[in-house]
Amino acid sequence: MKFYLISDNKDTQMGMRLAGIDGVVVHTAEQVIKSLENARADANIGVILITEKLINMCRDAVYEIKLNNAKPLIVEIPDRHGTSDISQSIDQYVSEAIGIKF
């Protein structure tokens, strides 16, 4: 199982690359969706890391994939400019999955 990064900046990509994680840098929602589709087509990729900014850019498409597919696991990561409150992301994910607000 491999990790794969979809990032909006080269600094995050370079840091992950130093850790042995391949990835791409994209800037539009269309590029994000295409990169997700390409990563999902690779059976060796088990975890897709995607930066907070890109998740916010195309939240519906990403959550659709997360909710309806067991593999790969899509994990939101903050980048160097991120302000993500991970507990809020988890609450939203659970709320959408089961239809209950916390």
Q: What is the CATH number of the domain that holds 7?
A: 3.40.50.10580
Biggest CA pair distance of the chain: 40
Instruction: Give the count of domains, the chain.
Output: 1
CB 72 within 8 A of CB 39: yes
pTM of the model: 0.77
Nearest-CA neighbor of 53 among 79, 33, 89? 79
Q: CA-CA distance, 95 to 102, in Å (whole number)?
A: 7
The model's pLDDT over 8-52, given as tens digits with 9 standing for 90+, comes to 989 889 988 998 999 999 999 999 999 999 999 999 999 999 999
Range of the domain at 38: 2-98
